[in-house]
């Protein structure tokens, strides 16, 4: 059973990784680029702060930092350092790799040794799930809820494209991406629970004053 799953994972990787052209090279290498992800996360965070609790802006900054810290460290400590599954760039001779470094394409860069799970996806989906929960759960009326659903759809699509880019760029199998995304979502839910406690505490303190 596990051999069949691994074989399917490898075949699906090859299908995505080898279906390429210069336009896709540009789009997916940019989506995988740390700078691009950082800019989009900053825009998402500023939008949510503006829409929700501007007076507690520092809480969002701290939570975003925790998203990156928890998802990045847990993906390494509990998965990469435990399962030791080689990235396709190290395991397959026909894997095509691509990344942007110093605003230039870099080919044949194998990346780190282990790839299960994808830290990119864990990072991105922890932020997506946290911000989605804040927007939807805190919506005060139907119009706000509708706008929140549109917002969630947009950032969710972005997350999926980041995951796809990790396969396209040759650094992860689809299974790495899916499991990394699930890990990120779970961390996002955990931090949303923390967020509700913090906001409730800050609001109660403000009321007392």
Between CA 130 and CA 59 the distance in angstroms is 13
pLDDT at position 1 is 47
Element (H, E) at 154: helix 142-168
What is the count of structural domains for the chain? Answer: 1
% of the chain beyond a pLDDT of 70: 97
pLDDT at position 207 is 61
Token pair 């789009």 is found at 27
pTM over 0.85: yes
Query: How many CB atoms lie under 10 A from the CB of residue 60?
Result: 21
CATH number at residue 46: 1.20.144
The angle subtended at Cα 38 by Cα 43 and Cα 91, nearest 5°, is 140
What is the largest distance, in Å, between two alpha-carbon atoms of the chain? 65
Name the 3-class secondary structure at 104. strand
Residue 74 backbone phi and psi in degrees, to 5? -70, -35
Between CA 93 and CA 202 the distance in angstroms is 55
User: What is residue 43's DSSP assignment?
Assistant: H
**In terms of residue numbers, what domain contains 17?**
2-208
Per-residue CA distances from 184 to 80, 123, 125, 152, 188 (Å): 15, 6, 5, 15, 6
Per-residue CA distances from 161 to 57, 111, 194 (Å): 28, 20, 28
CA 29 to chain centre: 15
pLDDT digits over 20-49, tens only?
999 999 999 999 999 999 999 999 999 998
pLDDT digits over 145-185, tens only?
899 999 999 999 999 999 999 999 999 999 999 999 999 99
Beta partners for residue 107, in sequence order: 98
Per-residue CA distances from 172 to 51, 112, 121, 189, 209 (Å): 35, 11, 10, 24, 52
pLDDT digits over 57-82, tens only?
899 999 999 999 999 999 999 999 99
- Given a contact cutoff of 8 angstroms between Cβ atoms, the answer to whether 187 and 126 are in contact is yes
């Amino acid at each position: 059973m596990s051999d069949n799953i691994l074989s399917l994972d490898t075949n699906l990787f090859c299908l995505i990784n080898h279906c390429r052209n210069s336009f896709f090279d540009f789009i997916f290498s940019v989506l995988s680029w740390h700078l691009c992800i950082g800019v989009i996360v900053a825009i998402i965070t500023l939008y949510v702060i503006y829409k929700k609790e501007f007076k507690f802006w520092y809480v969002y900054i701290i939570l975003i930092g925790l998203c990156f810290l928890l998802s990045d460290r847990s993906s390494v400590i509990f998965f990469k350092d435990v399962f030791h599954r080689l990235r396709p760039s190290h395991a397959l001779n026909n894997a095509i790799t691509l990344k942007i470094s110093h605003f230039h394409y870099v080919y044949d860069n194998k990346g780190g040794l282990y790839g299960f799970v994808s830290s990119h996806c864990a990072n991105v989906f922890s932020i997506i799930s946290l911000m989605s929960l804040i927007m939807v759960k805190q919506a005060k009326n139907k119009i706000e809820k509708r706008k929140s659903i549109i917002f969630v759809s947009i950032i969710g699509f972005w997350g999926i494209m980041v995951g796809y880019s990790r396969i396209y760029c040759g650094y992860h199998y689809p299974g790495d991406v899916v499991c990394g995304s699930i890990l990120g979502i779970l961390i996002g839910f955990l931090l949303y629970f923390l967020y509700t406690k913090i906001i409730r505490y800050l609001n109660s303190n403000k009321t007392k004053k």
